[in-house]
Amino acid sequence: MTSTPTTGPTGPGPDFSSQRGEKDSPERTDALAEAGRPGHGSFDAHHPPAQELLDDCVHCGFCLPTCPTYALWGEEMDSPRGRIYLMQMAENGEIPLEGAFTTHMDRCLGCMACVTACPSGVQYDRLLEATRPQIERNVPRSRADRLFREAIFTLFPYRRRLRAASLGGALYQKLRPKKMDRLLARLPRRLERLVAMESLLPPVSVRDAFARTPARTPAVGPRRGRVGMLTGCVQDVFFHQVNLATTRVLAAEGYEVVAPREQGCCGALGLHAGREEESAERAKALIAVFEQADVDVIAVNVAGCGSSMKEYGELLADDDEASGVTGDGLSWSDRAARFSAKVRDVSEVLADALEDSRAPRHRVDATVVYHDACHLGHAQKIRSQPREVLRSIPGVELTELPEAEICCGSAGIYNMLQPEAAGDLGRRKAENIRGTGADLLVTANPGCLLQIRKYLTGELPMLHPVQLLDASIRGVRPPGM
C-alpha cells in the first residue's frame, strides 16, 4: 500500500512536529539566577503562592464555566486554570510579574466561584491572596492607575470622608443636568473609570449618611446572647437602613446588639486588592475594639467584610508579637484566630435562631429572587442560611437565578478598576434577574446592590435580606415595594 505523507519536517523551515515535552529554555534559567531569588522565581520571598497549593490543580478545567472572565472572553489565560498556570510559570521564574501576568491577575474578580467548582480542592482564594500583594509590592503601576487606586483607598475605608463626600454626592444628584449622560458618554476612553464611578453612586440621603447605628440595642425579651455588630464604612454611610434593620432584627430575636463607636474599616477592600500591610493594621485595630466589647458573636451584614474577618487568623498568622493590654499577653496571631472564630454572617446567626424564633413574622406576598454574593456563597459557603431565613417569612416565594454562580461584576472595587468587564457582567446578571419575573431582589452585599442597581434602575426594589425580614417582623411594607 502506498503510504501518504502526513507530518514531519521535510526540509528546511519551521518545525511542525509535536514535540513531546517542553521546549528547553536555558535563557530563563539564566534570568532566574540573575534575579537572585532562588526558590520563588519571579516572586519575592514574602508569602509567594505555595507550591503545594499550586500542585493541587490537575488542569481538569471544571472551573472554566463558572469563571466570569472565561464566560465573557473564553480565553485560557483569563480562567482560573490559566491563572494558576501563570502563577506556576512565575514561580518557576519563566515569566516576569510585570506585563501580561499582572494584566491577567488584575482581570480576576476574586469571586471564588472556581473554588466552589473545583473537585480537587484547589484553594484559589489563598493563591490569589498570595499573588496580589506580590504584584502590589513588585510591579510599578502607571501614574494614572496608581493615583486612581490611591484615591479609592483614601476615600472608601473612612466613614467620615465618605460622609463628607456624600454631601457632594447629594448636591451633585440634585443639580445633575439632564444632559449629563450625553456629556459623560463623550468623555475619552481613558476616563472610563471615572464615568464608572459616577454611575455607581447610589441615591444619597444626607440624613442617613450622618446617622449613627446605636451603640447598644437591648434584646427584646429574655436575652439569648450578646452580639457585636460591624457597621462597616460604605454600608454605614450609603446603606445605613440595612444596619438599622440588622440591629432591630437581631434584637427582636433576643440578642443584645453592640456596635462599638470606635470601630473602623475591616480592611476587606484593601486585602482583596493586595494591600496586605494596610489591611493587617486595620485588622488589628478592629480586633482590639471588639475584644473590649466582650461579645459572644460578631455579626456581619456585608459579605465581603465577613469573608475577610473570618480570614484574619490567616492574615496575621505569622505575627507573633505579643502586644496590647487587652490581648492578655497573647500574640496577634492568637488574638486574630480567636476573633475570626467568633465572626458570623448575620444570616448564620438568624438561621440558628429559627429553631426557637422569638419574633413573629407578618405576611409579605412576593416572589423574591435571592442573589448569592460571591463572598457569601463562594468564599464563606453560606447559601442555605439566607434562604432559610427568607423562607421563614410567610408569603415569600423564593426563585432561583440562572447562572447564579457567576459574579455580577461588582467584586469590591473591580467595577471601578475594570469597568468594561464589570459592565458586561452587570448587564448579563440584570438580564437573568429580569428573566425570573420576580417582584423583589435581595442580596447581602452593598457592592452587589450598587452594581445591579446600575443595570436595573427602577425595575424592581432591591434589598438586603435583613431589610425584608425587618419589614415582616414589624408588619410594615418593605422599602420600595
Partner 1 sequence: MTTATTGAGSTTGALAADFSALLPDTCVITDEVGLRSYECDGLTGFRQVPAVVVLPRDAEEVAACVRVCARHGVPFVARGAGTGLSGGALPVADGVVISLQKLRRILEIDVENRRAVLEPGVFNLDISGAAAPHGLYYAPDPSSQQVCTIGGNVAENSGGAHCLKYGFTTNHVLEMEVVLADGTLVTLGGPSSEQAGPDLRGLFLGSEGTLGICTKVTVRLLRKPEAVRTVLADFPSIEAAGDTVGAIVEASIVPAAVEMMDSLAMEAAEAAVGAGYTVEAPAALIIELDGPAEECDEQFAEITRLCEEHGATRIHVAGTPEERAKVWKGRKAAFAAVGRISPDYFVQDGVVPRTRLAEVLTRIAEMGSEVGLRVANVFHAGDGNLHPLVLYSEAAGEHETAEDLSSRIAELCVELGGSLSGEHGIGADKACSMTRMFTDDDLAVMQRVRAGFDPDGRCNPGKIFPTPRLCGERPGPFRPHPLEEAGVISRL
Contact letters for partner 1, residues 200-239 (x by CB under 8 A): ----------------------------------------
Is 27 one of the binding residues for partner 1 (CB under 8 A)? no
Contacts to partner 1 from residues 310-349, by CB under 8 A:
none
**462: DSSP letter:** E
Q: Which is nearer to partner 1, 23 or 189 (CB)?
A: 23
Long-range pairs of 15-18 with CB within 8 A, sequence gap ≥ 24: none
Give least dist CB 82 to partner 1, A: 4
b/e for 139-166, b at 16 or more Cβ within 10 A?
Answer: bebeeeeeebbeebbeebbbbeebbebb
Residues paired with residue 258 on neighbouring β-strands, in sequence order: 216, 228
Q: Which is nearer to partner 1, 104 or 282 (CB)?
A: 104
Rounded to whole angstroms, the Cα distance separating 236 from 366 reads 27
Is 43 one of the binding residues for partner 1 (CB under 8 A)? no
Is 20 one of the binding residues for partner 1 (CB under 8 A)? yes
Is 31 one of the binding residues for partner 1 (CB under 8 A)? no
Q: How many residues bind partner 1 (CB under 8 A)?
A: 53
In SS3 terms, 199-210 reads as HHCCCCCHHHHH
Rg (the chain; Cα; Å): 25
Contact 254, 223 (CB under 8 A): yes
Locus of grid cell 486588592:
273
Task: Report which residue type is found at 414.
Answer: Y
Torsion angle in degrees (nearest 10) through CA of 206, 208, 209, 214? 150
Is 3 one of the binding residues for partner 1 (CB under 8 A)? yes
**64: DSSP letter:** G
Give least dist CB 83 to partner 1, A: 9
Q: Which is nearer to partner 1, 118 or 353 (CB)?
A: 118
Part in contact with partner 1 (CB under 8 A); list of ranges 16-24, 205-213, 230-238, 310-318: 16-24
Give least dist CB 87 to partner 1, A: 11
Q: Which is nearer to partner 1, 85 or 148 (CB)?
A: 85
Is 285 one of the binding residues for partner 1 (CB under 8 A)? no
Residues paired with residue 78 on neighbouring β-strands, in sequence order: none
Is 22 one of the binding residues for partner 1 (CB under 8 A)? yes
Contact 450, 410 (CB under 8 A): yes
**76: DSSP letter:** G
Contacts to partner 1 from residues 56-115, by CB under 8 A:
56-62, 64-65, 73-77, 82, 85-86, 89, 94-95, 99-101, 104
Interface residue list for partner 1 (CB under 8 A): 1-23, 55-62, 64-65, 73-77, 82, 85-86, 89, 94-95, 99-101, 104, 117-121
